[in-house]
Structure 1
Amino acid sequence: MTSDDLLVRRAVHDDAEEIFALTREFAMSVRPRREPFDQHLPALLDNPDALLLVAVVNGHVRGYLLGFVHLTLFANGHVAWIEEAVSQHGFRRRGLGRALLEEFETWARGRDARYIALATRRAQEFYQALRYESAGTYYRKTLMSLEDQA
């Protein structure tokens, strides 16, 4: 794949089918359901503090990144958080993740973010190669019922 084959851009509603398919590859502990996805996608696309990017290869969405910028007290301003980032199986190690992160970094800088953070147990070498450093342990507490997770 050449860089001419790859386009990173903001997601649009017409990308919904391919993004939803990728959410099913991304999710490990919660099974994405279509009804909530369809309900939440327009809100994310319209949220000025959110950025949903897609990596398009030959006209098809093969990766996406969802991130946010928000104010903090401890960092003296805005920080950026990557909530979801995935490249389709079979399209990994082709530059999609790097291109998505670089575009998100540009957006976060434009929003005066002090830094970017994310939580992951996968792809440590990838993030370290892009100069991300390990900074803590990730904790979570599930607040939804088991029925909502299925």
Structure 2
Amino acid sequence: MTSDDLLVRRAEQKDAEEIFGLTREFALSVRPRREPFDVSFPALLANPDALVLVAAVGGHVRGYLLGFVHLTLFANGHVAWVEEAMTQHGFRRRGLGRALLEEFETWARTRDAGYIALATRRAPEFYQALSYESAGTYYRKTIRPAEDAPGAPPA
């Protein structure tokens, strides 16, 4: 793959099927379901404080990133948060993740974000190579109904 084969761009509604496929590869603790995805995806595309990017190779979506910019009190204004970043298995270590994050950083700067943060236990060397630092511990509490739990049958 050459850099000419890779295109990072804003996601469009036509990308829904391929992005949904990637979410099913991404999620470990929640099983993505199509109906909620089909409600959320267009809403995210229309949200001015959200950015959904895709990394396309040969015209097919092989990675995506979902991030937000929001106001804070403690950081003197806006911060950016990467909620989801995924590269399809078989397309990792080819520059897709880097290209997605760099494009998100460019967007976050235009939104006057003071910094970018994300929570992950995966690929620390990747994020460190892009000058991200470990800055804390991530806690979560699941409050969704049981049908969204891991191992639950698909709806």
Tell me if TM exceeds 0.5. Answer: yes
Looking at structure 1, the residues matched to 145 and 113 of structure 2 have their Cα atoms a distance apart, in angstroms, of 34
Task: Give ranges in structure 1 of 5+ residues lacking alignment.
Answer: none
Structure-2 residue corresponding to 1:22: 22
Cα deviation, residue 145, structure 1: 1.5
Q: Secondary structure at the match of 2:115?
A: strand
Pair 1:84-2:72 in alignment:
no
TM-score, normalisation: structure 1: 0.99
Count of residues in Structure 1 that have an aligned counterpart in Structure 2: 150
Q: Secondary structure at the match of 2:114?
A: strand
Looking at structure 2, the residues matched to 32 and 101 of structure 1 have their Cα atoms a distance apart, in angstroms, of 23
Counterpart amino acid of 1:74?
F
Correspondence 1:1-150 to 2 at 5 A:
1-149=1-149, 150=152
Looking at structure 2, the residues matched to 8 and 58 of structure 1 have their Cα atoms a distance apart, in angstroms, of 12
Residue identity over aligned pairs, in percent, reads 84
Q: Deviations over 1:76-98 (max 9, x none)?
A: 00000000000000000000000
Q: Secondary structure at the match of 1:114?
A: coil
List, as ranges, runs of 4+ consecutive aligned residues in structure 1 with deviation greater than 2 Å: none
Cα deviation, residue 147, structure 1: 1.4
Cα deviation, residue 148, structure 1: 2.8
Looking at structure 1, the residues matched to 31 and 148 of structure 2 have their Cα atoms a distance apart, in angstroms, of 9
TM-score, normalisation: structure 2: 0.96
Looking at structure 2, the residues matched to 70 and 5 of structure 1 have their Cα atoms a distance apart, in angstroms, of 33
Looking at structure 2, the residues matched to 106 and 116 of structure 1 have their Cα atoms a distance apart, in angstroms, of 11
Q: Deviations over 1:10-60 (max 9, x none)?
A: 000000000000001110100000000001101000000000000000000
CA RMSD of aligned residues (A): 0.6
Q: Secondary structure at the match of 1:93?
A: coil
Looking at structure 2, the residues matched to 84 and 25 of structure 1 have their Cα atoms a distance apart, in angstroms, of 12
Q: Deviations over 1:59-88 (max 9, x none)?
A: 000000000000000000000000000000
Looking at structure 1, the residues matched to 25 and 54 of structure 2 have their Cα atoms a distance apart, in angstroms, of 15
Looking at structure 1, the residues matched to 63 and 15 of structure 2 have their Cα atoms a distance apart, in angstroms, of 11
Counterpart amino acid of 2:112?
D
Q: Secondary structure at the match of 1:55?
A: strand
Counterpart amino acid of 1:114?
G
Q: Secondary structure at the match of 1:98?
A: helix
Looking at structure 1, the residues matched to 21 and 148 of structure 2 have their Cα atoms a distance apart, in angstroms, of 19
Looking at structure 1, the residues matched to 145 and 138 of structure 2 have their Cα atoms a distance apart, in angstroms, of 21
Q: Deviations over 1:94-127 (max 9, x none)?
A: 0000000000000000000000000001010000
